Amino acid sequence: FADSLLPDAERSDAQVRHAAHYANVLGTANTLYLTGGDSIMLGLSLFDREWFSIQTGQAWAGAEASGDRTALRLCSEYAQQWDILSLRLPPPSYIPWLQAAQEAAREMGDRRMEGTHLGHIGIEYGKLEEAKVAIEYHELHLAAAKESNDRHGEGNAVGNLGNEYSNV
């Protein structure tokens, strides 16, 4: 409703602020979830309560990502909250977030993060029992990790490849 009342000049700034705020909310929910103990339920409750606005912020970032540095960064950041997102979103819903984030990281020239997103896409395809597709993404992750000298990413990619090859 508020969006419809804003003049065009103010709408763009408001959308950026909204997307940035809810990227932070999602990050807070993920951090609380990872903290453990009573914080798990606080993080999940925050996620569930703010889910509509989180989706709206991510959708804006994904739609505006072409060429807009702030939107590119936010698009990548939204998908980086892997722990809570992979728990709350089924793979068919999470994969598009990861694909948009991977494209955003590529456009920003962040090969390391692009590889990380590729690896998470592979994990989600593995959950769908699509091992061959998952392997393709893990191989892309491995290549990106090698190019960006990301030894931790290389280890993750190799481990994930081993897991998926055991499922073929």
Confidence of residue 13 (pLDDT cuts 50, 70, 90): confident
d(CA 43, CA 33): 5
Question: With pLDDT > 90 as the criterion, what percentage of the chain qualifies?
Answer: 87
* Length of the chain as a residue count: 168
- Which of 38-52, 58-72, 80-94, 129-143 comes out lowest in average pLDDT? 58-72
pLDDT in tens, 18-56: 999 999 999 999 999 999 999 999 999 999 999 999 999
- Nearest in space to 57 (alpha carbons), one of 22, 10, 103: 22
> How high is the pLDDT of residue 68?
87
Tokens of 92: 């068919």
Instruction: Provide the mean pLDDT of the chain.
Output: 94
pTM of whole model > 0.85? yes
Q: Which amino acid is present at 123?
A: I
Q: What is the pLDDT of residue 81?
A: 96
